[in-house]
Structure formats: C-alpha cells, structure tokens
Homo-oligomer: A and B are copies of this chain.
Amino acid sequence: MANDELIDEIRGLIAEREELGIRGLTDHLGPSDWADIVPRLDDDEVAVLLASLPDSEIPEILEELDPANAAAILRLQPREDAADLLEAIDPDDATDIIAELPSEDREQILRAMEPEEAAEIRELSAYPPDTAGGRMTPAFVAISPDVRADDAVVLLRRVAEEAETILYVYVIDAAERLLGVLSLHNLVLTRPDTPVEDVMVSDPIRVKASADQETAARLLVDMNLLALPVVDEDDRLLGIITQDDVADVIEEETTEDFERIGGSQPLDMPYRFASAGLLVRRRIGWLLFLFLAGLLTSQVLEHYADRLQGAPALIPYIPLIIGIGGNVGSQTVTTLVRAIGVGEVRLSDVWWVLAKEMAVGLSVGFIMGLVGYLRVGFPEGFQIGIVVGATIMLVALWSATVAAVLPLVLERLGVDPAVVSAPLITTLVDATGLLIYMTIAGLVLLQM
C-alpha cells in the first residue's frame, strides 16, 4: 500500500466515525485504529509509520496490536530499541508479545532489558495465558496498613507513571498477604492523618492466579470493580486484572463460542491473521466426524429402499424434512448455549428448559406441519400430505428436545456445552428424522 493510500484509509476511518455521531477524533486515532491499520502494511510501510509517530505513542500501539503482529514489528527494530519499547509496555502485554518471538530473539531482548523489568516478564511467563495469572499485570500499588492517607497520596504521585491503574491502592502485610483495598476516591476524601487500615475495605474480593481468565473477567463485571487483585496459594498479592482486560477476555471467549456453535474448533487468533491452512485444520475434524455420522442417514434410506420405490412421491420431501429438523435444532441450541454461557441457565434448570422448549417445538411443529399437509396434500393426495405433515410436527418436537437436553447433559458431564454446535444437532436429528418419516409412511401407506 502506498503512503497516500494509507493516509486515505486513515481519513476514511475518521469520516466513518464522524458519520456515527462521534467527534473529537479528528486529531488522533485511537490505539485500536492503529491495531486495525498496521496489519495491512508491509514492513517498509510500518517503518515509515513508526518513524512518523511520536516515540511516546508507539508502546501504546504495540499493546493494542495482536501479540503476533507486535512481535513482528519488534523484530524489525535493533535489539536495544526493542528492549526499550518492551520496557515501556505494560508487563502483561509485553509478556504476551515476547512469547511470540523465536526463543533466541526472546533471550537476547530480555538480556538487553533492565534486569528488574526482564524478571517481571519471566515471572509472568510462568502462567498459562488463559488464566488470571496469565492476564494480570504486576504494575499495582501496594502499601502497609499503618501508612497515613496523605502519605499514600504522595506515594501515588511518585508511582503514577508506572502503575497501570492507581484507581485502587492495595494494603498488604509484611508477608505480602492481601489485607484490604482503598479506592483513590476514598483516599482523596479522607482526613489526611487517618491510617489507611481505618478506611480500607477489608478482605476484598480476589482471585487465584490459577483461576480461568473468563471467571476473573465476569467477576470484575458482576461486582462492578475497576480492578481485581490476583493472589497465589498463600494469599500473597501477585498482580491485578483491570477493566481494559475484561473486554478483551470476553471478546476472545465469545468469539470462541461463535466458532464452536458454527461447528469449528476455535481459531485462537484473529480471523484476519488465520491462514487458509489453519482454517482447514480447525474445520476438517468436525466436518469428517459429521460426515461419518451423516452416513447413518444413507443407511436409513437404504434400509427403506423398497418402501421408497413403492411410494416414490415420498422422495422429494426428504431434504425438506431433515432441513426443518436442522432449523429448529439450530434455533434452540444457539439460544440455549448462549444462555448457559452468560450464566442465565444452569444444570438445575433442566426441567423447565425442557418443558419450555418442548412446548415451543410442538407449537412450531404444528404450524409447519399444517402448512406442509396442505402444501403437499393438494398436488400429491392427502395420504402423502398426512405423512409429511405429521412427520414435520414430530421432527420439530424431537429436534427441539434433543437440542434442549444435550447442552445441559454435557454441562453436567463437565464438557463445555458450546461443543454442541448447530451442525452437530442437525446431523444427529437427520437420521432419526428419516426414521420417523419412514415409520409414519409405513403406518399410513400400508393402508393404501
């Protein structure tokens, strides 16, 4: 992309924002706009762009980029510059970026960094990236319980640049165990000579480093916190997870749920950067499994070959009937998997969910069955109409039932219910739907 086109692209983004009623961006794009633009540039253009930006903005842009992309930019820099950039980035983001570098580059850059900051990154690297420990930043402010409120404010002034958030100050004992928390808000509104232990909130909500990142993110949201302390097994304060991580975590996990419900394995990376080869690897497993499961439908139809030869008018409605099963199942399972995902439906709700979904399946089945009876009955005769109509009703009921029960059963077995994809439900009810069709056809048409 030429430089001019890049500028046009940036102007376009600003115009798009202004159309949406957003103002005040004319002079500065946000970090996430850069995250959007940078991956479209080649190496030379990135070099031009970085040279044209104030040095102070580059770390913030790297923080917003996908870590793999930020790592690619770092590799273009001399080792010393890369080390300086990493020092200016929040340690949690720096850890994610450095993990994307080949191990020799990683070691060289870490050795070029200030020993203290390099040590922070090495420590954070010990936690898996999808845990609270992997998400946390060690850039928090902690004080002992006997510090006075005004001294705490002085301290804050000193560390304000380094700490990721000074909205909360944590109070810890000599062994670094978490005792309490103070909001900046409280601190400012307190009499200067009060010791912080008199105004802190004791025994604050915390999460272990080994906890799942989604658990931590939902807790921040549910409790209306701006930051959540992360502790080790001995309750020592290790770091904090902040609000800006929440949106990332929830977006990541929701994207995974979307990919699963569509019948893929999660990509674990932005779609934009996923190669066709990766997409194939993430999709082919389920496709082959569903293909083999789909062979069951062939066996059902082969088993009933004579009946179909005897009543060939039944054949054209095969795709229609299995399509209805798939559509009802897909509606039910996406709604339910989401309701389970946001915590609205639990295992103990299985009975009312089942009753509700069966009532819905029966109702939509009745309506579509009636339409099917009339639509098929007039040209083909009402015996075929009855077979198709009754099958549609039962298939809708059956599909809704399977789609309502399966996610909750998996949840009970400790399997993420999001693996019950729409294609899986569709495939599962295809063969049984055909069995229903052939059985009803046998019952009705034998009387011909």
Q: Which residues of chain A have a CB within 8 Å of any CB of chain B?
A: 20-25, 27, 30-33, 36, 132, 153, 156-157, 160, 166-167, 184-185, 188-189, 203-208, 210-212, 215, 219, 221-224, 226, 231, 235, 243-244, 246-247, 250-251, 254-255, 257-259, 261-264, 267, 270-272, 276, 279-280, 283-284, 286-288, 290-291, 294-295, 297-299, 301-302, 305, 308-309, 312, 315-320, 322-324, 326-328, 330-339, 342-345, 356-357, 359-360, 363-364, 367-368, 371-372, 375, 421-423, 426-427, 430, 434
Contact = CB atoms under 8 A, between A and B. Distances in A.
14 contacts: A22-B207, A23-B207, A156-B188, A167-B185, A184-B185, A259-B335, A262-B422, A272-B345, A280-B360, A284-B363, A284-B364, A286-B327, A298-B319, A326-B423
A364 B283 contact: yes
Contacts of A284: 363-364, 367
Given A188-B153, A375-B295, A367 B271 contact: no
B312 A298 contact: no
A11 to B, nearest CB: 14
A336 to B, nearest CB: 7
Given A271-B345, A368-B287, A262 B335 contact: yes
A95 B298 CA distance: 57
A185 B235 CA distance: 29
- For the complex of A and B, 8 pairs with smallest distance between CB atoms: A262-B334, A21-B208, A21-B211, A32-B222, A297-B319, A301-B316, A298-B316, A271-B339
A246 to B, nearest CB: 7
B367 A23 contact: no
Contacts of A327: 263, 286-287, 290, 423, 426-427
A196 B301 CA distance: 79
A258 B334 contact: yes
- In the complex, the count of this chain's copies comes to 2
B250 A356 contact: no
Given A24-B203, A36-B343, A330-B421, 8 more contacts: A20-B211, A224-B244, A226-B243, A258-B337, A261-B334, A271-B344, A280-B364, A315-B315
Contacts of A317: 298
A263 B316 contact: no
A183 to B, nearest CB: 10
A328 B291 CA distance: 11
A429 to B, nearest CB: 11
A323 B430 contact: yes
Contact of A251 (B206, B342, B426): B342
Contacts of A276: 356, 359-360, 363
B291 A368 contact: yes
A189 B184 CA distance: 12
Nearest to A184: B184
Contact of A422 (B27, B222, B226, B330): B330
A302 B384 CA distance: 15
A113 to B, nearest CB: 25
Contacts of A244: 221, 224
Contacts of A371: 288, 291
B215 A291 contact: no
A294 to B, nearest CB: 5
Instruction: Give the interface centre of A31, A205, A224 by most chain B CB atoms within 10 Å.
Output: A224
